[in-house]
Structure 1
Amino acid sequence: MTAVINIRLEMPLSTSVTDRALDLPPPYNLIPLREAGDAFAHACSITDDHGAGTLVWVRRYDLVEFAVILEPEEPLAEARRAIYAGANALADALSVHAPPERPVTFDWPDAIRIDGVLVGGCRLGWPDGVPEHAVPPWLVFSGMIRAVALRTAEPGARPFNGALEEVGFETVDAGEIVASFARHLMHWFHEWNEAGFTPLARHWLERLPRKKGQRIRIADNGDLLLFRAADLQPVERRNLRAALSKPSWLDPATGVPWL
């Protein structure tokens, strides 16, 4: 996949510390939103006027929330694998700040856990009505990670859902994590372009827990293929398009990760 990143400048909303611009690589164009914003919905709504590299960031201290517009050059069925590139980038950014004994892992296809605790995940959007064999005019990758748990039960009452502050992150700077994600995303798209999808898929699969004797592969269209150790044919195929239609980690009642 090639994401041609157009350079376009946006006026910052203010110059306060809270509203500061992120330390993003030059190709990105930052659009900051107030705390009540929805990064994924906003990014999808502005694709007619803003191109690849537009990064929408919601300035909240309790969530790391952002979305980035991509312009693929592959048919939708293959371009949808961008979910794996984005997830790699977000997990790599989190790993920089996570304690060494707290591994970052995935639930297929979109959830992110730290030491087994669900902290959030990612989403991928594309235009309605685009055939699988056609190149979509845009994709939107979005991430949301719970940084702080507000007004909720103690962690012991919800051992598998939590926030970064509860899994050993000494400090959580949402802007720093988003900026780190942006740099890692550039790396993974470069890797995809130069070496193909296989290294990217391998890196993603390293973070996916599996049963003993089970082999897992990502198909050319992003579906997850599960094999028994000695089998040549998969025993199960999980459909990526269907799975992405409803984020597994997102509580529809609150619009934030399950807690």
Structure 2
Amino acid sequence: MPPSHMVAAVAELDLPPLFTPVRLRESGDAFAHACRIAAEAGAGTFVHVGRYDLVEFAVVLEPEEPLASARRAFFAGMAALADAIAAHCPPEKAVEFVWPDTILYDGALIGGGRLGWPEDCAEEEEPAWLVFGAQLIAARLSIDEAGLAPDSTSLEEEGFADPHALMGSFARHLMLHVDAWTNRGFKKVADPYLARLRKEKAGERRGIDGNGDLLVHRHGVTGAERRALLPGLAACAWYDEAHKGPKLDYKLGARP
């Protein structure tokens, strides 16, 4: 049985007025369901799953630019998710990204993000919808001994009193990032994401290209190393397909 405070948390969802909640049963898949209903349900639809071991949700977006550049909404979602976690954790605990979609908390995997779009949408066309989905490990129910799976962690183990409150916090932070992008340019979204992206070498400078690719500049090296966004999203290195959730045995340092 889950702890009583976690059962209560799953039952509550505090979203800003612009979002419309859609709750799925425990066996549901928020990301897949949001992609199925996105065209009809519209922007702001917020699908979430009533599970106590995962914080799982997906939100429908309606971009107003071609798919090739609209995918950069993924970074707004990631930045908002990290901000939500950071707002509820001690300041000495770092929230970081591993390119492009993995989220680390204090050096251990705690979840990740995903992005969906219409399969028949061409790169130069404006997509009818995008879906940003995320999962965070709320409780590692299959880990019954301290020290097992040290490269992952959970919100419960890290002392988050109400893990599912992060969904409402994410929604509010997402609104802030989208507003900043709209009024002050994409750099206002890219910078918060890049500030949390783990560096591999000291002194490297990073940027995000117009199509969402990562550009890495290193001292003494002419030009930039390009890391494509699409293969990284397709690899979804943090996700365990068999268990439909984040990898508890994730090995830090693995790159797609």
The aligned residue for residue 13 of structure 2 is 22
Q: Which amino acid aligns with 2:26?
A: E
Show CA shifts across 1:100-157 (max 9, x none). 2211000111010001100110000001121111111100000100010002253423
Q: Aligned equivalents of 1:187 and 1:50: distance in 2?
A: 22
- Which of 161, 165, 172 aligns to 2:156? It is 165
The question of whether the paired residues in 1 share the 8 Å contact of 2:74 and 2:114 is answered with yes
The aligned residue for residue 68 of structure 1 is 59
Q: Give TM-score scaled by structure 1 length.
A: 0.89
Q: How many residues align?
A: 241
Q: Aligned equivalents of 2:128 and 2:12: distance in 1?
A: 27
Structure 1 residue 177, shift from structure 2 partner: 0.6
Q: Which amino acid aligns with 1:123?
A: R
The aligned residue for residue 202 of structure 2 is 212
SS of structure 2 residue aligned to 1:178:
helix
Q: Which runs of 4+ in 1 moved over 4 A?
A: 16-21
Q: Aligned equivalents of 1:119 and 1:155: distance in 2?
A: 16
SS of structure 2 residue aligned to 1:32:
strand
* Matched-pair identity in %: 49
SS of structure 2 residue aligned to 1:78:
helix
The aligned residue for residue 80 of structure 2 is 89
Is structure 2 residue 121 aligned with structure 1 residue 130?
A: yes
Q: Which amino acid aligns with 1:199?
A: K
Q: Aligned equivalents of 2:39 and 2:214: distance in 1?
A: 32
Give me the CA root mean square deviation. Answer: 1.6
Structure 1 residue 243, shift from structure 2 partner: 1.5
SS of structure 1 residue aligned to 2:52:
coil
The aligned residue for residue 247 of structure 2 is 258
Distance 1:19 1:212, change over 3 A: closer
Q: Aligned equivalents of 1:90 and 1:247: distance in 2?
A: 17
The aligned residue for residue 51 of structure 1 is 42
- Which of 205, 213, 231 aligns to 1:223? It is 213
Q: Aligned equivalents of 1:19 and 1:226: distance in 2?
A: 40
The question of whether the paired residues in 2 share the 8 Å contact of 1:31 and 1:55 is answered with yes
The question of whether the paired residues in 2 share the 8 Å contact of 1:21 and 1:30 is answered with no
Show CA shifts across 1:194-247 (max 9, x none). 11011211111110121112111111110011111244510x211111211231
Q: Aligned equivalents of 2:104 and 2:156: distance in 1?
A: 13
Distance 1:155 1:81, change over 3 A: farther
Q: Give TM-score scaled by structure 2 length.
A: 0.90
Gaps of 5+ in 1: 1-15
